[in-house]
Amino acid sequence: MKLSVVIVSYNTKFYLEQCLLSLEKALQGIEAETLVVDNHSKDGTVDYITARFPNVKVIASDHNNGFAKANNIALRQASGQYVLLLNPDTVLGEQTIQNVLQFMDSQTNVGALGVRMLKTDGTNANESRRGVPTLMTAFYKLSGLCAMFPKSKRFGRYYMGWLSWDAPAKIEIVSGACCFIHREALNRVGLLDEDFFMYGEDIDLSYRLLKAGFDNWYFPEKILHYKGQSTQKTSFRYVHVFYKAMLIFFEKHYSGLSFLVGLPIRLAIYMHAFGALCKMGVANVRKNLGFPLQKRHAEPRYCFIGSPEMLTDCRAIADRNGWNATYVEGNRETLSQGHLLQPQPDTETVYVYDTASYSYVEILQLFASKSQSKALMGFYHPQTKTVVTPWEACQ
């Protein structure tokens, strides 16, 4: 077996379906297996995915195990030479996996590899390349110096911002959203640390691979990552889990530091967590008192691009949801530039592409070639008659 793909899901039924549809195309010609561990979703994920993807092994947990433990459940059953840890809120290009595996086969000391993750507007996600959060690297990140000098090899090391986005490069930390791992390396350093419920386990694993002498790589193959579709980042639980993960990593790898050296880092973590909680608390009070939380944004627009059959289906979906929509007939031959031929939007516009008329890699490339902050990526899947946008999925 060449590759084992492991996906952990939690209440992301339609995003997981979209991920699996793109994965089916990306795995063509590759001896592979796909394992989905569902962390006790409440949206019917298990029955829905089991019925539609008979070749996917679905493992249904009876409670939420967290990200690390759920991945480990599948990893113990996986038999691939390589393992891909993949988030359900991702979309892969048709050649992504083939190109990555060819590169990994050409390396003699590869531990893990991450790719070029795009946000929904086509811009690059900084977490595609990261450095080990040493004390100084963490300080520069928490103090804001990293954001002020992103391309500095000293201040910007957290995101390694001086590296080219278009060329392979050795990095330190690979994101768990899309993480290829050599199985031999994983066997040597061990599985994910289950002390991390969510967040931080990818940093810990990458760091252990480096300390064991393996190389971690960035490879410029594009994928889409919705970045936390299944996570409510405005919840108190998110703040607790996220900052707890930072403390776990710090205690695990830097516990031998003197009190005077370690104390400022601990204080910085606690202060950031406290600040986030206070901000959420104020927002909740304002909401309960009836005050607007922020300036109301204009409703997004939708532009559907694809075949006549797709446009007919999407018109019905848009009408049911009351969307302000336009419809453009085209495909890769007749309208190769897609939404780039439309006027630049002055309000958020979701360009929903027919995946039967355009390949995933073509859609990703269109957005990456000319990213626009108000132009967002959407997909229509004729197999399921589902429209997937950055914030919802509709049939």
Q: Where are the domains of the chain?
A: 3-225, 236-289, 301-394
pLDDT of residue 133: 82
Specify the range with the lowest mean pLDDT, choosing from 175-189, 262-276, 360-374. 262-276
Give yes or no for residue 75 having a pLDDT over 50: yes
DSSP state of 336: T
Adjacent-strand bridge partners of 116: 222
- The interaxial angle of helices 13-26 and 45-52, nearest 10 deg, is 30
pLDDT tier at 7, thresholds 50, 70, 90: very high
Give yes or no for residue 13 having a pLDDT over 60: yes
When the pLDDT of each residue in the chain is averaged and rounded to a whole number, the result is 87
Give yes or no for residue 291 having a pLDDT over 80: no
pLDDT tier at 234, thresholds 50, 70, 90: very low
Tell me which fold the domain 3-225 belongs to. Spore Coat Polysaccharide Biosynthesis Protein SpsA; Chain A (3.90.550)
pLDDT of residue 135: 76
pLDDT tier at 266, thresholds 50, 70, 90: low
Give yes or no for residue 265 having a pLDDT over 70: no
State which amino acid sits at residue 171: I
Supply the pTM of this predicted model: 0.87
What is each CA distance from 125 to 7, 129, 387, in whole angstroms? 20, 9, 23
pLDDT of residue 228: 53
Cβ contact 8:88 at 8 Å: yes
Give yes or no for residue 296 having a pLDDT over 50: no
pLDDT of residue 295: 47
Cβ contact 122:368 at 8 Å: yes
The residue-averaged pLDDT of 76-81 equals 97
pLDDT of residue 285: 55
pLDDT tier at 101, thresholds 50, 70, 90: very high
Say how far apart CA 79 and CA 81 lie, in whole Å.
7
Count Cβ atoms below 10 Å from residue 137 Cβ, excluding itself.
20
